Amino acid sequence: MAWLVDLIREFGFGIVFLNVLIEQLGAPIPAYPVLVITGALEGASMGRLLMLIVIAVVAALIADVIWYRAGKTYGGAVLGRICRISLSPDACIRQTESVYGRWGPKSLLIAKFVPGFASIASALAGTVGTPLSTFILFDTLGAVIWVGSAVFLGSLFSSTVQDLLDVLTALGKWGLLLVMFVFAIFLLRKWWQRTRTLRSLKMPRLSVQELAGMNAQGVYPTVIDVRDLSQYQRGRIPRAQAWRTISRQGEQPHAPLLPQEQHAHGLVIYCDCPHEISAARIAKQLQRAGFSNVRPLVGGLEAWRAAGFDVEADEKSAPAAASLESQGPLIP
């Protein structure tokens, strides 16, 4: 364990840079504890603390600009890729779209404190056309707040952190094993949360080919888009209704869908999340409300577009939607 502590002391700034960069790119390797420890070790020098903050902020900004550019280039396709590597399904696209749609770039001020939110919010900022200068301003401020809080905690409790490091050093290899065990527990807990969420949302799905086949036969189920309204306006399955518009009416979100008899051909729910997490959650909610024939659409809008089926958009958003469509999927 002593060599690990010496490594942090010797190459702390480089380790912090790589850790923050990798975490902000989406890997489940928390950088906040490393920032706290490094802040504690550098607590005696204000100049080195400021240098630490600058290095960490630059690393975060590099990763976030990469996601911003990816979102601007590939649109909604890149959002699903981020969710696939995230261990926090609760931070999936629909929740991020909701927060970003309400607060806009200001949500970047606290994005890094929410697991899985920062990467998706950065890509979403590019997707919805947030100006790069505005994105960089709020993202930098958010990174400074996030990094600064960790460094401040580390310097504030530097003696406590140092005592802990001394204990781990004295334990030798057992101290290293303890650190690895704690990290493994963290990953296992996140994995179990994700697995439990996916199991709870198991239900029959509908493929895009099946939906297209029904439409070709003149059978039109009620299709509901549960993404953010701005995403809905930029591109959607023909005749799809926006859940945000539906759920704002009445005391019960499903009230405008009543009576159930008007949906003789069932309800089809779609989103952009891997495993249709958001769509399945809404589908489960509708099932509990008494709607029996409800199915999430496998792959959502991206699967529909990839299959070559038509996508409609609001007139003012049509050029942007067409541009995204011409780019094709992020990964063939």
Q: Is the pLDDT of residue 251 over 70?
A: no
C-alpha distance from residue 42 to each of 46, 47, 257 (Å): 8, 9, 59
**For residues 24-34, average pLDDT:** 86
Residue type, 120: I
Token pair recorded at residue 199: 């199991």
Token pair recorded at residue 48: 């080195």
**For residues 119-129, average pLDDT:** 87
C-alpha distance from residue 296 to each of 268, 300, 332 (Å): 6, 8, 23
**CA of residue 83 relative to chain centroid, distance:** 6
Closest CA to 228 of 318, 132, 316, 124: 124
- Are 40 and 157 spatial neighbours (Cβ–Cβ below 8 Å)? yes
pLDDT at 322: 38
In this predicted model, what pLDDT tens digit does every residue of 50-59 receive, in sequence order? Answer: 999 999 999 9
Strand partners, 242: 225
Token pair recorded at residue 248: 């704002």
pLDDT at 310: 92
CATH H superfamily, domain 208-327: Rhodanese-like domain (3.40.250.10)
Whole-prediction pTM value? 0.67
Q: Is the pLDDT of residue 154 over 80?
A: yes
C-alpha distance from residue 108 to each of 99, 216, 252, 287 (Å): 10, 44, 31, 35
Q: List where CATH 3.40.250.10 sits in the chain.
A: 208-327
Q: Is the pLDDT of residue 18 over 90?
A: yes
